[in-house]
Structure 1
């Protein structure tokens, strides 16, 4: 018996086959077009985990993972822009602040796209973005080193840390404004198309009503850690796209390895509490990258000299694999990866 795919999975496959995959090499050499984002907005995928009362689908995590694999394997740059959106939605779902009622519905329905500007929190006790109370709201100063989706996002979830060690998350419009200036787009070895910039904050003021979350940094870091040790569905999606370029004899053993890691990682995600088996989850993350590296390397080798042409799919996937090595990286995951490579 076969199981009928979730409607959102069907839509993701249609979007991948009809729009993302055919244009992926062009996007890689240019930028994610607004048309891709409009298609994502209209697909219902942006509300995948949001409550139905707010226009979302409240789909299970397994569906979200499958969709992430489909989108990342089709066009990793487009996937990376839209994947930022799901953290702001999840943040709003946990709170009862006024900003929830203002933004959760539009974000869940795909009327607005949100980016995130908070990865720098993982460098604490360094405080690249400092927050202080000012005029009944909050003043943000400092530098956001990486912000993806500039020119495509409508809003952003911005975070900084106070002098007392409190993490403050607030929504701002994703545009230049008093106190917020964006750099030119950053040229990257992969995913330049995702429109990544750095943001200079010089007295950006946001009202109290824009705040979605205030929490001690240590509490936020404890909740964040499981995310940074887990294997990413995008790794499996890009690996599958690379395996599709190989003959069956080469792809077969690699696909078996990939399936084993994926099944183990997803079983832990579904069956264990978020803070259980963290070392095992990190080991699986490293193993997933080993298979990804093997799959994309095999695709390049299989393509021969043609793989050196910028229009080569194999080369694009290999560069995307390099990007995923460091995406969401922390000092812990970096050390573990380096130790594994040295052993």
Structure 2
């Protein structure tokens, strides 16, 4: 028996085939164009997790994962820009706030694109960005080390930590303004195309009406831990794309088949753990499976390089691009616990 794919999955596959894959090497060198974001928007993919009553698709989590795999495997830079958008949508949908009624619909429909500026909160007790109450709002001071999608995003979800270890999430305009300036785009070994900058906050003031959530640092860490321990769908998307190259190469079919079997197995385990009814359960198991997913990703992208031979050293090589994207995924969203687990696994062989 076969089932009809969800419409968003069908659109994601069409977008990948018609636009993202044919232009991925050029985008890797030149940057994600606004036209790619518009294409993702037209496909309805910016609203995959948005509530229906606000114009989103409210798709099942399996659909959100599959569309993420497809986009990441086709053009990881485009995936990375648009994946930032879904966290503000989910947060606004979950917590009632004045800014929810103002922004959730344009975000869920894709009229606006959002980015995120809060990974630095994981550095606690260091507080790279401080939030200070001031004049009916909040003043932000410090440095956001990484911000992706600069020049493409309309708004950003920004977080700072108060003197009492409270995390304050606000929505602010993603543009140069009083108290906010951006560095030059970073030149990175992978995903330079995603337009990543650092942000300097020198008294950026945001009104109270723009607050999405205030929570203790302990509560933030409790929610963030299992989420950060789960394997990213992008890992499976990039690995699958690499195995597609391997399968097409001379002498590569058997290798691709073996690695595909390993990939499918770890994917099933990872998603089963992510769907555990107790959100904070099985964190060590999640981290162990995430590390195994990295192992298969590394093997798949290495196999693509080997299968491509000397051609893989050309910057225009698809195998090389996928290998560099795989390297990026090893550290994307990395926590201290994930790093310890991964390093321990590598040390034990």
Q: Return the TM-score normalized by structure 1.
A: 0.99
Say whether 1:20 aligns with 2:51. no
Whole-Å separation in 1 of the counterparts to 2:86 and 2:240: 23
Say whether 1:145 aligns with 2:150. no
SS in 2 for 1:145: strand
SS in 2 for 1:84: helix
After TM superposition, where is structure 1 displaced by more than 6 Å over at least 4 residues in a row? none
Correspondence for 1:315: 320
Correspondence for 1:208: 208
Whole-Å separation in 2 of the counterparts to 1:22 and 1:296: 19
Give runs of aligned pairs for residues 78-227 of structure 1, distance below 5 A. Answer: 78-227=78-227
Instruction: List runs of 5+ in structure 2 lacking aligned partners.
Output: 247-251
Correspondence for 1:49: 49
Q: Deviations over 1:47-90 (max 9, x none)?
A: 11111100011111000000000000000000000000000001
Cα RMSD of the aligned pairs, angstroms, is: 0.6
Q: Deviations over 1:215-274 (max 9, x none)?
A: 011001100111111011000000000000113211011000000000111112224321
SS in 1 for 2:275: helix
Match of 1:281 among 278, 286, 289: 286
Give runs of aligned pairs for residues 322-341 of structure 1, distance below 5 A. Answer: 322-341=327-346
SS in 2 for 1:85: helix
Whole-Å separation in 2 of the counterparts to 1:273 and 1:22: 41
Cα deviation, residue 42, structure 1: 1.7
Whole-Å separation in 1 of the counterparts to 2:274 and 2:221: 19
Correspondence for 2:277: 272
Say whether 1:239 aligns with 2:244. no
Cα deviation, residue 302, structure 1: 0.6
Whole-Å separation in 2 of the counterparts to 1:273 and 1:60: 18
Whole-Å separation in 2 of the counterparts to 1:273 and 1:42: 35
Whole-Å separation in 1 of the counterparts to 2:11 and 2:87: 21
Cα deviation, residue 322, structure 1: 0.5
Say whether 1:298 aligns with 2:303. yes
Instruction: List runs of 5+ in structure 1 lacking aligned partners.
Output: none
Q: Return the TM-score normalized by structure 2.
A: 0.97
Cα deviation, residue 276, structure 1: 1.0
Q: Deviations over 1:281-311 (max 9, x none)?
A: 1000000000000000000001110000000
Whole-Å separation in 2 of the counterparts to 1:269 and 1:91: 18
Aligned residues: 343
